[in-house]
Structure 1
């Protein structure tokens, strides 16, 4: 009995997981970076919150830059201390700690940028731009989740976005309707998804290689058609068609929330619906259960009568259609004509958002919004004349992507059977 009692605690100690210092170190590094924001002198920063048409006007808020950043720095230091305590206790860090730290860091940066300047910091415009710029990323990330949950790696999101943008521009121009162009975009994405499924599922070609090849194919094909057919007859085949904003009555004029969430185009509202539907269907429906079973253990799924290959093909085509719909943002969703390679690597950032979100619709949306905010912040800083190098500003969204995936993700486990051909 005494021997058992003596060895019990040591066995319990061996069972404890090692202390993870990843989050405390990340918070500490960003807190040290925020110390540089204290060099603001005696200036003040003015934030604009309200927009024209709101139910009531919130006056501009002017804050002393140094005192504001001292308070925000204290918030970041407190969040770092909480992260250290949670790490020592081997407890999960939760969601409110990173949320509070991130908001404090961004506000400190904006306060530093606007200190002593006559330029206002438009918070509502910044948030609305972040949501709009996140549209293709959210659709692309949803496409990746749908495909990879069934075991197919969708590297071809970039090509699906670009194909959707191309067909949306052409159909929208021919019909003089942005809505018909938007409706055509999923067809182009589904075609690219069908090619991916054909080679990856039917002939067991490596899914990553097929995805990269399809991206190159779509870039080359759309660039060729743009340089020849569209350029020669741009008035008919590549005219700008724009989707107007649709304010939601009663909600669109609430300060801050209204302009950001409820004064958007139909494409943004479809994005809301796609995210909700993807989460419910993946985790609360028979289709989602079968999809996840095929992605995790296809042999077991086949044993209970699930058609593994058919499930993967259908999911890949559906995922391609979702990404194609997101591609409509680049043309009819933004009121722009089609341009060569206008997706500009957004498909790869959508993949990063999916990984950062741990193959979950909710997590992928949060990551996509973070990347969209980085792009919106770049646009705001460029217009405000912040005195930051334009090269650094252009690099910011991609630097955020690298830091997020390399530093924040840690160890994640993808679906076990992805990129593994199913052999009966």
Structure 2
């Protein structure tokens, strides 16, 4: 019983990060780095919560979170793809924008009650011992399962996925083959931003259905790190997100049952894990495990094509 409770908490805690990580994978596979994930998640969280509160419709809130984060991501896409601006600086500016605008417009929503997504059990599957809790979740969790499968298929089994990966590996060759590199990168960044917005929406509409300033608590940065841990693969991103979620859930349980370890130290555990992940990933890269897109972070200019 305890294992099932912990697994349930793991899934719920890791789902928001999973959405954001999947979005960043799509973006980086096309060759663009987006460090604005934290800001995009906040925009999605507030936008989804506000629209759901106004309309009384959670699904409209989810749609709004995707659209608003996509619009914000469009700014980053335009600067980095068409203006060939610095991707790191633009991403950081996007994060600061998201933090600031949600703090400004979210003040009136603090403490406002909202009935969020409820769990829906899938017959038969939810009765399986232990892993059955995976099939007793809300609709957004099920959507995350679907996205892992769908995006993996898209990237490695479709012509569109090949175009996205070509733009990230060798944009000049992709351009020569007739692929519009600018359009692919632009749309991939927008779509990835929308998925990050869904990660924020999950926090405010399902995980804790309310709005709290800076409620993402660094999850966007964790998602960026998990992309490296996942080696830019969706299935590995799912494992990494749930691993982080499991550590988060474990530290909360340890605080609940009482322990001699300081609560502040326990709260640090998920972020310590992130540092360890980055160290391991760096060691792998230094040993020659080349996994990141070849042209990641490099602006493409047709005039420089050789």
Task: Classify the TM-score, shorter chain.
Answer: over 0.9
Q: Please, which runs of 5 or more residues in structure 1 have no aligned partner?
A: 1-48, 50-121
Equivalence for 2:138: 265
> For residues 41 and 208 of structure 2, what CA distance do their matches in structure 1 show?
16
1:334 Cα offset (Å): 2.1
1:408 Cα offset (Å): 5.1
**Alpha carbons 1:140, 1:323 under 8 Å: kept:** yes
Q: Size of the alignment, in residue pairs? A: 297
Instruction: Give the root-mean-square deviation of aligned CA atoms.
Output: 1.3
What per-residue deviation string (whole Å, max 9, x for no partner) do you get for residues 106-141 of structure 1? xxxxxxxxxxxxxxxx21111110111111111111
User: Where do residues 199-348 of structure 1 align in structure 2 (5 Å cutoff)?
Assistant: 199-227=79-107, 229-230=108-109, 238-259=112-133, 261-348=134-221
1:415 aligned to 286, 293, 305, which one? Answer: 293
1:157 aligned to 28, 37, 41, which one? Answer: 37
> For residues 133 and 161 of structure 1, what CA distance do their matches in structure 2 show?
15
> For residues 275 and 199 of structure 1, what CA distance do their matches in structure 2 show?
28
1:240 Cα offset (Å): 1.6
CA separation of 1:330/1:167 partners in 2, compared to 1, >3 Å: closer, same or farther? same
**Alpha carbons 1:245, 1:263 under 8 Å: kept:** yes
CA separation of 1:254/1:353 partners in 2, compared to 1, >3 Å: closer, same or farther? same
1:394 Cα offset (Å): 0.7
Q: Please, which runs of 5 or more residues in structure 2 have no aligned partner?
A: none
Equivalence for 1:367: 240
1:178 Cα offset (Å): 2.2
User: Where do residues 14-413 of structure 1 align in structure 2 (5 Å cutoff)?
Assistant: 49=1, 122-227=2-107, 229-230=108-109, 238-259=112-133, 261-407=134-280, 409-412=282-285, 413=290
Higher helix fraction: Structure 1 or Structure 2? 2
1:333 Cα offset (Å): 1.3
**Alpha carbons 2:12, 2:207 under 8 Å: kept:** no
TM-score computed with the length of structure 2 as normaliser: 0.94
Say which SS state the counterpart of residue 411 (structure 1) adopts: helix
What per-residue deviation string (whole Å, max 9, x for no partner) do you get for residues 85-107 of structure 1? xxxxxxxxxxxxxxxxxxxxxxx
1:335 Cα offset (Å): 4.2
CA separation of 1:408/1:201 partners in 2, compared to 1, >3 Å: closer, same or farther? closer
> For residues 275 and 299 of structure 2, what CA distance do their matches in structure 1 show?
30
1:386 Cα offset (Å): 2.6
> For residues 239 and 385 of structure 1, what CA distance do their matches in structure 2 show?
30
**Alpha carbons 1:355, 1:364 under 8 Å: kept:** no
Question: Which structure has the larger Rg over C-alpha atoms?
Answer: 1
Runs of 4 or more off by more than 4 Å in structure 1? Answer: none
